[in-house]
Amino acid sequence: MNDWKDRELGMDRGITRRDFLNGVALAVGAAILPSDLSAATVIPPGAEKSPDYYPPALTGLRGSHPGSFDAAHSLRDGTFWDRAGSPSSTGEKYDLVVVGGGISGLAAAHFFRRAAGPKARVLVLDNHDDFGGHAKRNEFHSSQRAMLGFGGTFSIESPAPYSAVAKGLIEELGIDVPSYPKYLNRDLYRSFGLGPKIFFDKETFGADVLATNPLPRMGGESENDLARAHALDVFLKEAPLSEPAKADYARLLTDKKDYLPGLSSDEKKARLARMSYNSFLADLVKVSPELVKLFQATPQPLFGVGFDAVAAQDAWGLGAPGFAGMKLDPEPGKGMNRDAIPNEEAGKYFFHFPDGNASIARLLVRQLIPEAIPGQSAIDVVLARTDYAKLDEPGSGVRIRLNSTAVRVKHQGDPASARNVEVAYARGGKVYTVRASHCILACWHVVIPYLCEQLPDRQKQALSSAAKVPLLYTNVALRNWKAFQKLGTNAVYCPGGYHSYLNLDLPVSIGGYECSRQPEDPIVVHMMKTPCKPGRPAREQHLLGRVELFSTTFETMERNIREQLVRVVGRGGLDPATDITAITVNRWPHGYAYEYNSLWDKFWLEGGETPCEVARRPFGRIAIANADAAAYAYTDAAIDQAWRAVGEVIKG
Ligand SMILES: Cc1cc2nc3c(=O)[nH]c(=O)nc-3n(C[C@H](O)[C@H](O)[C@H](O)COP(=O)(O)OP(=O)(O)OC[C@H]3O[C@@H](n4cnc5c(N)ncnc54)[C@H](O)[C@@H]3O)c2cc1C
C-alpha cells in the first residue's frame, strides 16, 4: 500500500498514539530499561500509584499488551533464570496467593475469604496492567462523549445452564440477570431499517458486494418464515455468486433430503461427528465450492476455526442448513462440542454490560477491596472509576499486584508435608518472592509446567495440552454511524475479511451510561477476527494463529481495520481518515479455553479421562483453577473451577 492510500485511510492521523504504543509500554511512566529480562518492557516501581494510571482508557494494542508476556516467554524459552538474577524476598506472608487476576482468580480470592474469614490475607498476582484477564474494559474518551467497549468477555451466557455456585456468585454480586431486557433497546437498529448483511470481498468472491444476510444466525433468528423467504429472495438477487451456486443455496435451505439414507439416527450422528461440515456440504450435499467458502468463517466466534475444522454433527447442533431431511433424533449425539448442544434454559440466561463481563471482575474487586471501586450496586459499577492506587496497599486484607508475572511456585520442603509455598514473580525487571500457606494457580494452564517443576510429568503434559484459541477483539470508535444507516446494516459477516464479523455496539443503557441512539451520534464498532489457517488440524491452526498475532505490528492491524471498514461501509459515506476517532485492538493470542470436540479429540468421542481432569489435580498446597480446568471457554467455568480449587485448599 502506498503513502497516498495510507493517508486516505487516515494512517497519518496520530489518533491512537501509535508511535508510542506499537510494541512499547502502555502504563503511565513506563520506560524501557536496560534490563536482564531481554527487551522486556518494565514498569517502574509505584507506577500504579500515579493518579494517571488508568489502563481501561488506553487505546492501541491491548489484551495481551506489550510488556505483559516477556517474562513468561523467557521462562518458556529457558532463558529467564540465566538473566534474572537472584530473587529478593518481600518478607510478605499470605494465607493464599492467587496467580492470575481473571474472573477465576478473583472469584477464588472471594470464595477463600468467605471460607477462611475476613482476616485472611490474600495476594493476587497478574502479568497484565489491568485486572479481569479476558474480561477487559475498554473506554473511549473524546470531546463528543465517553464510550465503553468490551475488550474480551462479551456477556453472561453459556451453552449449559449456570451451576448453583456460578449463579449464586452472580446474584451475590447483585446482578439481576432476568432484568436485562429493561436495559436493552432491542428495536433500535431495526427502527432505522438496519439488519444483518454479508460482505462479499473481491479476492474471495470476485466483487466487493454488501448483500442481505438470510441466515443472520445459523438456522435463522426467530423471524417468521415469510420474512426469511423474503430475505432469501433478496440475497439471491444481491449476492455475487454464480447461478449454480445460487441454486445450490436455495436447495440447501429448502430441500428435505436425507444425505445418509439407510442409517439409523445414531449411525448418522456417528458419521457426522467424524466429518467436517465442509466435507458434509461438498461431499454429501454436493454444493458449489462457492458456498463452502461462504459458510466457512461462520463458526469462528465460537470455535476460533472455520467449518473446515468443525464437525458436521456440531454444525447440526448449531442449526446450520442441510439437516432438515436427515431425521436426526434431537438428543445430543456422542462427542458433540458443548457449544453445539442447544439448551433452552441456558439460552435465557443472558446479560450484557457495556464493558462485557469486565463488570463482573470489577464487582469482585469491589467486594475484595471496597476502597478501590466506589458504589453500592451492580448497576452503578458501570460508570465507577477504579482507583488503581488502592489495589495493592500494605494494610489491606486483599492485595492485587498488577504487572507481576509468577515465574516459580514451589513448596518449601516436601510437597506432602510442607507448610508453605514460595511464589516468585517478575516485576519491573526484578524478581521477588512471597510466602503463602496455599497457592491457587488461576492462570493459563500452559504456563503452569514452567512455574511448578515439582508437578508429575503426566499432569504437566495435560496442562500443556490446554493451549488456548487465539482471537482479536477490535473496538473502533466512530464519530457517527450514518454510513451504516445509509447501507441498512448494523451487523456484517465478512467471510473473506481480515475480521470476519463487525457489529455496531449492542444498545444497552444502564447505570447512567447511555448507548448511542441516533446515527449522528458516536458509537463503538466491534470487530472479531480469529487468525485460523483453514485446512490444518484445529490445534495447529491455533498455534499458527497465535504466532501471527504476536508477530503482527499494530500498524499492520490498523491499516487492515481502516481498509476493511472503508470497503464494507465506505459506500455509505464513512471516511476512515476523519470518522475513526480511536482504535483499540484487544489481542488475545491465548484466548478461549480449548474445548474438546469429536473431530480432533478421540477421547471426547470415545470416553475416558479428559486432559483437564488430570491437569487440575491438586498438588500439596497448590490447587489449580482457570476456565482451562474445565476445557470450557465461559465465565461460569472460571467461577466453578475457582470454587473447586478453594474447596481443595481449605480441605488440605
Ligand atoms: C475474546 C474472548 C471473549 C469471550 N467471551 C465470553 C463471553 O461472552 N461469555 C463467557 O462466558 N465467556 C467468554 N469468554 C471466556 C471467558 O472470558 C473465560 O472463560 C473467563 O473469563 C476466563 O477467566 P479465567 O480467570 O479462567 O482466565 P483469564 O481471564 O485468562 O485470566 C487468567 C489470568 O492469569 C494471567 N496469567 C497467566 N499466567 C500468569 C503468570 N505466570 N503470572 C501472573 N498471571 C498470569 C493471565 O494473563 C490472565 O490475566 C471469552 C474469552 C475471550 C478470550
3-state SS record for 375-424: CCCCCHHHCCCCCHHHCCCCCCCEEEECCCEEEEEEECCCCCCCCCEEEE
Residue 330, judged by CB atoms within 10 A of its CB (0-12, 13-18, 19+), counts as exposed
Residue 235 alpha carbon to ligand 1 centre in Å = 38
Beta strands in 443-520 (DSSP E): 469-478, 489-493, 501-504
Reported as a single tens digit per residue, the pLDDT across 595-650 is 999 999 999 999 989 999 999 999 999 999 999 999 999 999 999 999 999 999 99
Of residues 562, 277, 615, the one with CA closest to residue 446 = 615
Residue 577 alpha carbon to ligand 1 centre in Å = 34
In this predicted structure, what is the pLDDT of residue 471? 97
- In percent, how much of the chain has pLDDT > 90? 88
Stronger pLDDT, 108 or 19, i.e. the higher one: 108
What sign for the dihedral angle of Cα 357, 358, 364, 370?
Answer: negative
Residue 619 alpha carbon to ligand 1 centre in Å = 23
Alpha carbon distance 534, 172 (integer Å): 43
Residue 254 alpha carbon to ligand 1 centre in Å = 41
In this predicted structure, what is the pLDDT of residue 614? 98
- Cα 207 from chain centre: 32
Atom of ligand 1 nearest to the CA of 158: 11
Query: What pTM did the predictor assign?
Result: 0.95
Q: In 10 A of CB 571, how many CB atoms?
A: 13
Amino acid making up residue 215: L
Reported as a single tens digit per residue, the pLDDT across 206-249 is 999 999 998 866 444 445 667 777 888 999 999 999 999 999 99
Reported as a single tens digit per residue, the pLDDT across 523-552 is 999 999 999 999 999 999 999 999 999 999
In this predicted structure, what is the pLDDT of residue 6? 84
Atom of ligand 1 nearest to the CA of 151: 1
State the DSSP H helix or E strand holding residue 545, giving kind and residue range, or none if neither: helix 538-551
Ligand 1: list residues with CB < 6 Å. 72, 99-105, 125-128, 133-135, 152-155, 157-158, 405-406, 442-444, 447, 471, 473, 588, 591-593, 626-627, 633-635, 637-638
Alpha carbon distance 151, 588 (integer Å): 10
Reported as a single tens digit per residue, the pLDDT across 455-487 is 999 999 999 999 999 999 999 999 999 999 999
Q: Is 522 left (phi over 0), alpha (psi -120 to 50) or beta?
A: beta
Residue 260 alpha carbon to ligand 1 centre in Å = 40
In this predicted structure, what is the pLDDT of residue 23? 32
State the DSSP H helix or E strand holding residue 211, giving kind and residue range, or none if neither: strand 209-212
Alpha carbon distance 483, 433 (integer Å): 54
Stronger pLDDT, 23 or 317, i.e. the higher one: 317
Alpha carbon distance 510, 379 (integer Å): 7
In this predicted structure, what is the pLDDT of residue 27? 34
Residue 158 alpha carbon to ligand 1 centre in Å = 15
Mean of the pLDDT values across residues 281-294?
Answer: 98
Question: Ligand 1 atom 19: the closest Cα is on which residue?
Answer: 634
Cα-based distances in Å from 74 to 24, 292, 424: 17, 41, 15
Reported as a single tens digit per residue, the pLDDT across 212-224 is 998 866 444 445 6
Alpha carbon distance 473, 521 (integer Å): 22
Q: What is the DSSP letter of 627?
A: G
